Amino acid sequence: MTAVLESPAAVDLRVPWRNSFAALGPAFFTRLPSQPLPDPYLVGLNQALAHELGFDPALLASPDGVAAFTGNVPIAGSDTLASVYSGHQFGVWAGQLGDGRALLLGEAQTPAGPQELQLKGSGRTPYSRMGDGRAVLRSSIREYLGSEAMHGLGIPTTRALLVTGSDAPVRREEVETSAVVTRVSPSFVRFGHFEHFSANGRIDELRTLADYVIDRFYPDARTTDRFAGNAYAAFLEAVSERTAAMVAQWQAVGFCHGVMNTDNMSILGLTIDYGPFQFLDAFVPNHICNHSDEQGRYAYNRQPNVAYWNVFCLGQALLPLIGDQELALAALESYKAVFPREMEMRMRAKLGLADDQEGDRELVESVLQLLAKDRVDYTIFWRRLSHHAAGSGAEPVRDLFLDRESFGAWLRLYEARFAQQEGGREAAGLRMLRTNPKYVLRNHLCEIAIRQAKLKDFSEVDALLALVQSPCDEHPAHEDKAGFPPDWAQHIEISCSS
């Protein structure tokens, strides 16, 4: 008798799969299975997202679910592959990159529409270069909580369904343990996918990819009468607009991405690839959150210009399809129009101003200058201002400033402007409390959750997830997490190493 090795039974999520990216053909990816990790365990499960997708949370949390989302057991209907892309890293053409440690499972047809599921940290691929294909527990928890924090703030982002861990060692600056995050997005196509085919002169594939993304996500680009019916120019314009609107939201909430390389830019204008990201503590406009970014290319106040630089790279990549440089440049102009408009709109909302009046921009700029001068905590300032607007006294917000005289002068201008609004002060104050979060995922909060998770206590990961999923609500049991960061938070160094 010969023993037959049976492959493990596939886990069935009980949703139909239609893998449209896989249908593009082998020029775009390499099919490969995931590589298992020993003795996986659940680190965090996003129950809310599981429900939105129509997945049974109990199945996901079961040994079968954990095995499947670690890559140890196949998922029925999936068609696993790693996609190829290129990109500009820190302003320099880096050539071919690709999913070096991510595996696309396919596209589940969920109640929330078609959603791609991707494992990150699932082993080496043909695009791993020198990397090990793995992700560490620390950075996987940061991505899991970071992406849900952005979603909770209403900012377009990829999402995270669950994190599993394994004690298999991974070598970074020190030896850490492995983890796999399951990310969810309608598409994981990046600017870098287009750059890849364009730079290699593979125009047929470039067109196939552009047509695929337009048909699925930008159908209006085919029907608009802008750009003389040039759908590729209209597509570029729409991506530029979405990117501008996304970055305006980053700026307004004080989010630093940290690695805005073109391969980390979603073609859907979603925040993607959470590495050394940070929500600002003190308002320091040139704050650099990525310890590896010595030049400060991706400093907080440079993000809007960098995003424009990135859409410009996308424009260059699409030029063979657009066929006319003037049209491409005209399409990119939309970024310059949309970004300031969105930024003003977001900042007016933070101030509780429902309409647009002359002088509002100066009001915003002058308060940001005061915040910067005194390095005031960005989140706490807006929250206290909201409470003040809703009717409580001015002391708590004034106390944040060293230069109280200058702030007092600003506050008088603001109050005069605020008082002109119809609808009453209380309603505007309540609007501000729905806009200016009480809780953001500060680095030190993540750090505490990570330290405990390394000791196999995942309760803080769960607690933070619940908090960041409703960041404007009061959570009395977690009042401490809405306070100033401790002194040690200044010394947390987050680099590209993940």
Note the residues at the interface with ligand AMP (CB under 6 A).
97-101, 127-128, 131-134, 259, 263-264, 273, 275, 496
Write down the least CB distance from residue 108 to ligand AMP, Å: 22
Tokens of 316: 């260059």
Residue 328's identity, in one-letter code, is A
Read off the DSSP letter of residue 174.
S
Write down the least CB distance from residue 265 to ligand AMP, Å: 10
- DSSP codes joined into one string, 94-153: EEE---SSEEEEEEEEETTEEEEEEEES----TT-TTS-S-EEHHHHHHHHHHHHHHHHT
Nearer Cβ to ligand AMP, position 137 or 353? 137
- DSSP codes joined into one string, 418-461: HHT-TT-HHHHHHHHHHHS-S----HHHHHHHHHHHHTT--HHH
132 binds, among ligand AMP, Mg ion, none (CB under 5 to 8 A by kind): ligand AMP
Per CB under 5 A, does 118 bind Mg ion? no
Write down the least CB distance from residue 290 to ligand AMP, Å: 10
Nearer Cβ to ligand AMP, position 128 or 470? 128
Site for Mg ion in 260-299 (CB under 5 A): 264, 273
Nearer Cβ to ligand AMP, position 265 or 319? 265
Known active-site residue 263: yes
d(CA 85, CA 28): 8
Q: CB-based contacts of 283: which residues, under 8 Å, 6+ apart?
A: 254, 368, 371, 372, 375, 376, 377, 378, 381
Catalytic residue among 79, 99, 263, 273: 263
Write down the least CB distance from residue 33 to ligand AMP, Å: 16
Nearer Cβ to Mg ion, position 264 or 278? 264
Find the Cα–Cα–Cα–Cα dihedral 449, 450, 455, 460, rounded to 10°. Answer: 20
d(CA 189, CA 118): 12
Tokens of 198: 């364009």
CA 103 to the chain's CA centroid: 18
98 binds, among Mg ion, ligand AMP, none (CB under 5 to 8 A by kind): ligand AMP
Nearer Cβ to Mg ion, position 87 or 429? 87
Tell me the residue number closest to ligand AMP, measured at CB. 131
| Residue 455 main-chain phi, psi, to 5 deg | -100, 15
Nearer Cβ to ligand AMP, position 199 or 394? 199
Residue pair 198/301 in contact by the 8 Å Cβ criterion = no
Write down the least CB distance from residue 85 to ligand AMP, Å: 7
Write down the least CB distance from residue 259 to ligand AMP, Å: 5
Give burial (CB, 10 Å; 0-12/13-18/19+) of 326. exposed
Nearer Cβ to Mg ion, position 78 or 158? 158
Write down the least CB distance from residue 82 to ligand AMP, Å: 9
Give the total of residues touching Mg ion (CB under 5 A).
Answer: 2
- Residues β-bridged to residue 377: 282
Read off the DSSP letter of residue 5.
P
Nearest alpha carbon to residue 449 among 171, 181, 139: 139
Tell me the residue number closest to Mg ion, measured at CB. 273
- Residues β-bridged to residue 117: 106, 184
Write down the least CB distance from residue 5 to ligand AMP, Å: 28
d(CA 476, CA 396): 19
Nearer Cβ to ligand AMP, position 11 or 119? 119
At residue 29, the 3 state secondary structure works out as strand
Read off the DSSP letter of residue 481.
G
| Binding region for Mg ion (CB under 5 A) | 264, 273
Catalytic sites, residue numbers: 263
